[in-house]
Amino acid sequence: MKSSPQVDIVSVAPHENGWAAWTRSPVYAVDIPKGLAVPPDSKKWVRMHVDCRESSADVAFIEARLVAPSGAILHAVKKGEAGAEDYPSAGRIPYAISPPAMICAAAAARCRGDALTWPLERGEQTAFVPSCRRL
C-alpha cells in the first residue's frame, strides 16, 4: 500500500501569485529513471505550486529530487526539463485531506499569524484561502 506524501510546512513560501512547498514520499519503482541505482529508504521530494482558490486549488509541478538516506541527491528534474513529464501537474483539485490542501491551509494560517491546525473542521473552506501574498 502506498503512503501519502508528507508536506514540509516549513517550506511553504509565496510563488508566482500562489504558494509552493516540498512534499516527501517513498520512492517507488515507477519513480526511478532507467539505469539509476536507488538505495533502500530513499525519498522522493516534489516541490509543487499551489494557487489556493475559494473551493479548489490549482496545482502544478515545479521540481523533483530523488534523495538517498545519506542526503545525496541521486536525480533531480525541473519543470520543462527532460523527464519532467513523469511528474504531471494535477490541475484544479477540490479541497480534501491532501498535500495541496495542507499547503493552502498552512499559508492561510501563517497569513493570520496562527499555527496550522490539521485537519481543518468540516466546512472551513475559507481557512484554505490565504489573505496575504507574502509572509
Residue with cell 545525496: 72
Note down the domain range covering 72. 6-128
Residue 1 lies in a domain: no
In a domain, 135, yes or no: no
Cα–Cα distance measured from residue 106 to residue 129, given in angstroms and rounded to the nearest whole number: 10
Burial of 83-109, coded b for 16+ CB within 10 Å and e otherwise, reads: ebeebeeeeeeebeebbbbbbbbbbbb
Phi and psi of 76, rounded to 5°? -140, 145
Determine, yes or no, domain membership for 71.
yes
- Report how many domains make up the chain: 1
38-69 pLDDT, tens digit each: 999 999 999 999 999 888 899 999 999 999 99
Query: In 7-118, which residue ranges form alpha helices assigned H by DSSP?
Result: 99-112
Average pLDDT over residues 97-119: 88
pLDDT band at 123 (very low <50, low <70, confident <90, very high): low
DSSP 51-78: EE-SSEEEEEEEEEEEE-TTS-EEEEEE
| 90 within domain boundaries | yes
Q: What CA–CA distance (Å, rounded) separates 126 from 102?
A: 13
Grid cell, residue 80, equals 520543462
- Per-residue confidence (pLDDT) for residue 1, from 0 to 100: 45
- Residue 117: the pLDDT is 82
The 10s digit of each residue's pLDDT in 65-105 is: 999 999 999 999 999 998 888 877 778 888 877 889 899 99
134 belongs to a structural domain = no
